[in-house]
Amino acid sequence: MAASADAPVYVWDTWAGLPPPRKLTGADLQRAWSDLAGDDAKAAFAGIRRLSTAPDQAVPFLRERLQPVPAPDAVHVRRLLADLDNAQFAVRQKATTELDKFADAAGALLEEAKAKAGSEESRQRLDKILTRRDALTSESLRLLRAVEAVEWAACPEAMHLLEDWAKGAAGARLTREAALARDRLSKAAPSR
């Protein structure tokens, strides 16, 4: 959509001219899955489009590949956080490596710990972990684009999948994005 003081409002239909929905083959689904993680935005958009126009196939396919993010063991994460202030460098390094693995699922705990960090070194380590967690990687792009495809499908099965993903670990990227998509769909749905 575009508008200015000198011109009328222009609206483009990005779906215009697209082939009608069709049954996707296993190869079509795999190609779309690969495209979702790729650097080629045009191919990724085509993958989103392909998946969203075939929800009967795409929703089960995506449900199988993306599971809700499980909550980490908070006791274990807190123990690793305490190890960031250990006197031994090797212990601090090992804790950093382990926390990197839980960064998405334990993001809220890591952010809280960063705000209360006992040393500048632990604050810097947590900052680096959180920065890596928030980076757009091929897998995080795939996740965001998969949520978008499910949201665009806008069918009851898609809403159920978004609900399931939104039940994952609080603060995890999939949990947050699925909850936002679910809320947008809920607002867009006609009230009964």
The per-residue pLDDT for 140 is 92
Q: What is the pLDDT of residues 121-132, one digit of tens each?
A: 999 999 999 999
Q: What is the pLDDT of residues 50-65, one digit of tens each?
A: 999 999 999 999 999 9
Q: What are the residue boundaries of the structural domains of the chain, listed by start? A: 26-65+140-188, 74-134
Contacts for 44-51: CB closer than 8 Å, 24+ residues apart: 44/141, 44/145, 47/145, 47/149, 48/145, 48/148, 48/149, 48/152, 49/15, 49/18, 49/149, 49/152, 50/24, 51/24, 51/146, 51/149, 51/150, 51/153
pLDDT of 1 higher than 70: no
In sequence order, what are the beta bridge partners of 12? none
Q: Quick one: 62 exposed, middle or buried, by C-beta within 10 A (0-12, 13-18, 19+)?
A: buried
- Give the mean model confidence (pLDDT) for residues 149-167: 96
Residue with tokens 């009851």: 156
C-alpha closest to that of 150 among 88, 24, 77, 61: 61
